[in-house]
């Protein structure tokens, strides 16, 4: 009987390890899909929408761009349905920034919140944009910085707010953003689209600080 119980316990432990590995692989696939193809499609939509705002754009070209924009919008929706992320959560406006830090933290990579966790008074679309930018920056740091710790700092002033994502990782040349750092490129484009100021300060071997600012 004891041998049977011991064998059962070993089987349960083995299945638990296999389940944990499967969950880890699934999480990695979801993040890679979000960080790669989905962000590229979103960036393409932003570029198309910027082109649609060009003064004097011929009607025929505008119609073609609108059709392409609608197709890309459907693609984004389908991918988000697969990832079950089609209902964005404005973390910075609900006190959930701590949850974001916890979500991205793992052994060997800690994400710490410093300061306020709520930015009140933002329009819904701006709040969503800020949330997505912060997520992209933290994920980008986890993937590329080789840092063991990232600090997310939120400061609120009378007329503006500020969010910094700071790591002491490997750093890079901001004038030559690596192609694999597509998350950073998407964050920059998203900030421009919503009229936010995003500044990248990085030195090779000395880490990276990305500062996002906006008006209240």
Give the model confidence (pLDDT) of 19-52 as tens digits: 666 666 666 666 666 666 777 777 787 788 788 8
CATH number, domain 91-215 = 3.30.565.10
> What pLDDT, on a 0 to 100 scale, did the predictor assign at position 90?
43
What pTM was computed for the model?
Answer: 0.61
Domains in the chain: boundaries: 2-83, 91-215
C-alpha closest to that of 214 among 95, 126, 115: 126
Query: Where does the pLDDT of residue 7 fall: very low under 50, low under 70, confident under 90, or very high at 90 and above?
Result: low
Find out whether 91 and 100 touch, Cβ atoms under 8 Å.
yes
> What pLDDT, on a 0 to 100 scale, did the predictor assign at position 70?
82
Q: Which of 61-70, 85-94, 122-131, 151-160 has the highest mean pLDDT?
A: 151-160
User: Hey, is 171 helix, strand or coil?
Assistant: coil
196 versus 83: the higher-pLDDT residue is 196
Statement: residue 67 has pLDDT above 90:
no
Statement: residue 159 has pLDDT above 60:
yes
């Amino acid at each position: 009987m004891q041998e049977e119980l011991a064998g059962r316990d070993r089987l349960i432990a083995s299945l638990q390890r296999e389940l944990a590995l499967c969950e880890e692989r699934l999480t990695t696939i979801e993040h890679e899909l979000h960080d790669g193809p989905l962000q590229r499609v979103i960036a393409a939509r932003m570029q198309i929408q910027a082109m649609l705002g060009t003064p004097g754009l011929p009607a025929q070209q505008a119609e073609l761009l609108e059709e392409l924009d609608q197709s890309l919008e459907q693609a984004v929706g389908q991918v988000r349905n697969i990832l079950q992320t089609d209902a964005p959560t404005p973390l910075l406006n609900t006190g959930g920034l701590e949850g974001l830090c916890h979500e991205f933290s793992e052994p060997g990579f800690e994400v710490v919140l410093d300061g306020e966790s709520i930015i009140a008074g933002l329009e819904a679309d701006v709040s969503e944009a800020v949330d997505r930018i912060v997520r992209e920056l933290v994920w980008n740091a986890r993937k590329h910085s080789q840092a063991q710790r990232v600090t997310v700092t939120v400061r609120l002033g009378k007329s503006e707010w500020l969010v910094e994502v700071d790591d002491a990782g490997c750093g890079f040349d901001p004038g030559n953003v690596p192609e694999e750092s597509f998350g950073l490129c998407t964050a920059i484009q998203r900030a421009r689209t919503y009229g936010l100021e995003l500044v990248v300060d990085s030195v090779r071997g000395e880490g990276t600080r990305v500062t996002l600012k906006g008006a209240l």
